[in-house]
Amino acid sequence: MKIVVLCGGTSPEREVSLNSGRAVAEALSQRGFGVELCDVSSISAFIKKWPAHKADGTFIALHGGWGEDGRIQAVFDAFGIRYTGSGPEACMLSMDKTAAKFAFAAAGVPVPQGFIATREDDGAARAEKFLAEFGGIIVKPNGGGSTVGVTRLSDISDYRAALELAWRSEKRALVEEFIAGEEVTVPVMEGADGRAAALPAIHIKPKVGFYDYKNKYTPGSTEYICPSDFPEKINSQLAELAVKAHNAIGCRCYSRIDFRVSENGAIYALEANTAPGMTTTSLVPKSAEANGMSFGEFLAEIIKLSFSIDRSER
């Protein structure tokens, strides 16, 4: 089987995507797949060249932008091109953090309080109230990932600068209460029967500050404990809520759900990732390995499961 691994793209997460693409291509090649690594600059350009690839399908290692917000998935559905992961609807929802939070809450998954801030209405008064009530806030782009443009602040004087950083990525910033506690992420994977189950949770422990872009991508800056060292009750709740969140927005095959666990053990879902990082040191492969699957085995299973989905069913 020949797979075209799609990476790069034009979003702020381009460099992360290139790293994911290279890692996926190497691991699939070692598993015996025919592999072609493709740095995609536009959907239309790729579609025009698709027949020349003579491939069986694609592995989406694109992060952010049109590679993860449902646009490329919708086009692939229209052209009958097989791809990995969720369909366009789930991708669209996951990339709109506010919409995803509404879906989570409707499914009984707790979420942090928050609001959208734009240049027309920056929500400064609400931000000040949040700071007084919660002691801290998080400002981040409403779409996108890889912790690009994320700021934690405790002083309203830093609010505008945090908004400007988020607005570099898009026009809408999401302002949320800061949940004092611990960062954790839970990958979810479907079985052959289509039922979703949680993989081992990963406790994310930055050595300094919070889990921002620097701590995420600077080697040695963050400790990852997998399976997590939370009490069994918390791990069980995380697994249940991760599956609920995965299903709430219609994810398929696999996803990664990010959470905060408060100091008193309350759990809050932050967002869903339909195309999470896929390097050998990324979080989803770490969890799969803790569950007994090598990186290559995990990728091969993702392809098998994804290509068996009937995309005509909605």
What are the catalytic residues? 13, 146, 282
CA distances from 164 to 149, 156, 181 (A): 9, 14, 26
* 93: nearest Cα among 212, 220, 257, 234: 257
SS3 281: coil
Paired with 76 in beta bridges are none
* 62: nearest Cα among 37, 98, 27: 37
Burial class of 62 by CB neighbour count within 10 A (0 to 12, 13 to 18, 19+) = buried
CB under 8 Å to 237, separation ≥6 — which residues? 267
122 known member of a binding site:
no
What radius of gyration, in Å, describes the C-alpha atoms of the chain? 19
310 known member of a binding site:
no
56 known member of a binding site:
no
CA 262 from chain center: how many Å?
Answer: 21
CA distances from 13 to 8, 63, 162, 265, 294 (A): 8, 6, 19, 32, 25
Burial class of 146 by CB neighbour count within 10 A (0 to 12, 13 to 18, 19+) = buried
**Paired tokens of 243:** 């599956």
Q: Is the dihedral of CA 64, 68, 211, 227 positive or negative?
A: negative
204-232 in b/e form (b: 16+ CB < 10 A) is: bebeeeebbeebbeeeeebeebbebebee
Which residues are annotated binding-site positions for Mg(2+)?
A: 258, 271, 273
Which residues are annotated binding-site positions?
A: 258, 271, 273
